[in-house]
Amino acid sequence: MSRMHYYIAVPFFLLLYFLQTTLIWRLSAENFAPNLLLVATSVFSFLYNERYGLVLGVSFGLLLDITTSPVLGVQALSFLLIFIMVRLFRLILNNEKLLPNVLMALLATPVGSLLYWAVGRMAGYPTHIKYVFETMPRLLLWHAILAAVLHLLFVKTVIRHRGDRKFESEFEL
């Protein structure tokens, strides 16, 4: 299985971080934007055996918390929970297929949104749960599209082919 290297993954997460904190919010019309780092954490956790989703997701989640969030550690914690959830599902789902990867991003979306809302409420911020559920369908749509795009960009580094030197046949059910 090919490996993703940190010299590719770190600049990619850095690009997503800058897009998330600058361009995405400027283009959003209703104070709503997809969470690019959440989707990338989900996709990288699902595609790769290494812990890129954990290391990069938690690191950039903490950076996102420091620079944009009123409560420190919420994004980092939600990305950690997403990593654990996705890795558990990875045991039973095929990571080379598009649909399971999109499904993982769709499951990660409510986890991240509801955790962020719950911690914000405990910290005293007046965001209503109704707002979270009103924005959820748009978030799910955006996150599904982003997960599909990321999957198609990075799946070629995961799939083994018979001509590869390190190809090991596995029985698939």
How far apart are alpha carbons 11 and 136 in whole angstroms? 29
How far apart are alpha carbons 142 and 94 in whole angstroms? 23
Tell me what pLDDT residue 171 has.
Answer: 39
How far apart are alpha carbons 71 and 119 in whole angstroms? 8
Tell me what pLDDT residue 88 has.
Answer: 94
Smallest Cα–Cα separation from 103: which of 159, 156, 147? 147
| Per-residue pLDDT of the chain in tens (173 residues, 90 and over written 9) | 346 678 888 999 999 999 999 988 777 667 778 999 999 999 999 988 778 889 999 999 999 999 988 889 999 999 999 999 999 999 999 888 899 999 999 999 999 999 999 998 998 888 899 999 999 999 999 999 999 999 999 887 555 555 555 555 443 43
Contact partners, residue 142, CB within 8 Å, separation at least 6: 34
The domains of the chain are located at 6-157
Q: Look up the pTM and report it.
A: 0.85
The topology (CATH level 3) of 6-157 is Arp2/3 complex 21 kDa subunit ARPC3 (1.10.1760)
